[in-house]
Amino acid sequence: MNRDDALVLVEHVLADVVPGADVAALSPDDNFRVELEMDSLDFLNFVEALSERSGLPLPETDYSSLNTLAGCANYIASRTSAR
């Protein structure tokens, strides 16, 4: 999966997990956990949905890479291209 495809996937997962979120208003480097006022459970639901839809394991040690649209897209693209 390339970075653009990964970004679209992340945006769709965020929109599903945080209903009513204006994902289009987020810049690539915004911390969406803060901007969308996601609590820990919301973030965990996001990570689980992203893992399921990307087919990648997302270990807790990598959660710090998954707080921005750009970080998520880069993370997913780098791991799916290595397959």
Structure confidence at residue 18 (pLDDT): 94
Residue 42 token pair:
């919301």
Query: pLDDT tens across 5-29, in order?
Result: 999 999 999 999 999 989 999 999 9
pTM above 0.85, yes or no: yes
- The Cα 24–Cα 54 span in angstroms is 21
Query: pLDDT tens across 35-82, in order?
Result: 999 999 999 999 999 999 999 999 999 999 999 999 999 999 999 875
- The Cα 73–Cα 1 span in angstroms is 10
Residues 69 and 7 sit within 8 Å (Cβ to Cβ): yes
Residue with tokens 């990307």: 54
Cα Rg of the chain, angstroms: 11
Domain range annotation of the chain: 3-80
- Annotation: CATH topology of 3-80: 1.10.1200
Structure confidence at residue 81 (pLDDT): 74
